[in-house]
Structure 1
Amino acid sequence: MAETPPAADPATQPAETTAPVVSVRDLRKEFRRADGSAVRAIDGVSLDVAPGEFVVLLGPSGCGKTTLLRSIAGLEQPDSGAIHIRGVPVYSSDDVIDLAPERRKISMIFQSYALWPHMTVFQNVVYPLKNAPRPRLSKTEMTERVSYVLDLLGIGQLAGQHPGQMSGGQQQRVALARALAPQQDLILFDEPLSNVDAKVREQLRLELLSMQAEIGFSAIYVTHDQTEAMELADRVAVLRDGRVEQIGSPHEIYSRPTSRYVADFIGTSNEVTGTVEEVLDSGAVRIQTAIGPVLGGDVPGTVAVGDQVVLLARPERFRLEPQAAEPNGPNSWTVEGDTTLFLGAHSQHIVRLEDLTLRVWSADQTSVQRGQSYRLSIDPAAVRVLPEKPKDQVRT
């Protein structure tokens, strides 16, 4: 592997500033169905990406994440709003600005790799350098840069091969090398790892993080894979129906979801609905539910007696003990064992409480016995209390 990269083109280097590399403001985009009805693919999204930040757009198919990414790249024209890249307006409905993709000075990696099948690996990777706006690098500088990124990705020996002669993981590395070669400070990723198997995908995620730390580019990454989002992101933006439902660090999104939608999409959560019965001086609330009174201590908003709420509890926060265990305060129930699933890093126990099926995780390899009684408990601080109706869009 090359010890140091070749000299970089100053025009492509990020400015030393804390200003956002990407700034999206109130962006909107509608598509028309065949019957004439409108679909809001992007519905008032605002988002900033800081220098060197890795932001993941996460959500199910149809939530608008790819349309948002393509709008930033210039491959889709929004209906209204504004996009600035490095402080320069590249799209503005008010000022009638819409810069072509090649003028936005970004790199993009597609789900399909988009490699030229008749070109060798070297030719694919050098292509954006040979077609860059003038002044261009010399042939020697281009060769040095391509060799550097190929070695960085561990595929230097494939420089003379064609894409059809390589595996999916190798082709993905070529696509990544082509994006890195121009040394742009912003790279967009459209589900780039969805076509490779799980083991290769895991390895490529590690390589991508290592390269991002070494080179320092900013990234906007689209995926529907929650594990991928949690591993890669500095911040995750969870999208729903064209809106940003919540944005924050992976830990914040997992531990403090602001809606049932986010809690369901990120990780596994047990849910029960109820009515607020009492608001305690400590800020905790007592909720009457189908399984009796439950004490919730994680209350992010203001609730009042009579409010309808949903309680969320992650499976790893429960304690499951033999029935002989004594009740240890509030939120303690007798449950019936159903089955245990071994998931590698932990075991998932399925237990039943009244008509409610609950999932409980434990690090040990014990199993619950079907029909046997157990004591289930959870600290009130681990029970999150949210309004039963989803919260409105969280804007940044």
Structure 2
Amino acid sequence: MTPLGRRLAAEIAAAGPISVARYMAACLGDPLHGYYATRDPFGPQGDFVTAPEISQMFGELIGLWCAEAWMRLGSPAVLRLVELGPGRGTLMADALRAARALPPFRAALDVRLVETSPTLRARQEAALAGVGVPVAWASDVDEIPPGPALVIANEFFDALPIRQFVKVQDGWRERLVGLAEGDDPAALRFGLAPEPEPMLADAPGEPGAVLEVGEAGLDIARRLAERFAATGGAALAIDYGHARPGFGDTLQAVRAHAYADPLAEPGEADLTAHVDFAALGRVARKAGAVVHGPVTQGAFLRGLGLAERAAALKRGAAPPVAAAVDAAAARLAGGGDGMGELFKVLAFGSPGMGPLPGFGLPGIDTGGPHP
């Protein structure tokens, strides 16, 4: 068992089972043994590859999206350009390079990166050295100075803690992490709370159904939407998840590009869960924001001009380079079970911005209108 696993086992032995949310928060964010605090997990040598690592086209198109959104906000003299969970800083570096095409936009930028991992902050600082715009770091969205803001959240919400509830005969009981029986005193297992959850007493569901609630992500969406309604701005969330409300256990662990047991080695694997885009949109709308989408990542990138950008990169390029560009575009926006269909894109922002780029196609059916 890992050092974090032993510590969690001691906590459980002393105070009882913990929620899945508490377990995820410790595994990912513990300052000593948490997954993101102790390593750089991105790229072929890490545990997973994100869209910015696949091709510069992704970040460049996001940068141009931000420039258009800035103009929709009235081209404010100072714009907080914020990224939540910026990884290695690759997306932001590519976005700022694309922003050179619009000098007034670039001159307005005050870049803020919300990151809690010292390891990744160092990576981001190296990637953004010499970009020519102010860059600062924060640990929470509430630390971002006031004023108009554009917020990028690429594969951010999926790594936030969730609670899980399982439907049994007498209602919905919360799934908890407790100690397993056997010779290993630190071995962990899933179990259920002894009593049903009162807040879900009227929630429908078949026996055995799993309901996931991402309270941390919904809280961030609410705070951002309230900010945008008051001072202007928009958020762009790109992640894998479901557009319609539904049931299912989506908690997964990934290590070395392969799935792993979420409880086997706490702190040594990436833990994620599918994002409920319908819930994000519902919370943002209730807080006063206008919601755009969700649409698939493929539709979004094609709407931003992915094909045209790929053609520009291939112009005059050697055949192997041109083939690599085509492969990257297909990986980012292709259909089937790839990123282009599995990943969704949702934006929410201040009223009066009008239709935003990339959302020209009808949004995905999220199960009917939401208040």
TM-score by length of 2: 0.28
Q: Which has the higher helix share?
A: 2
Which of the pair has more CA radius of gyration?
Answer: 1
Instruction: Answer 1 or 2: higher relative contact order, Cα 8 Å, separation at least 6.
Output: 2
TM-score by length of 1: 0.26
Q: Which has the higher strand share?
A: 1
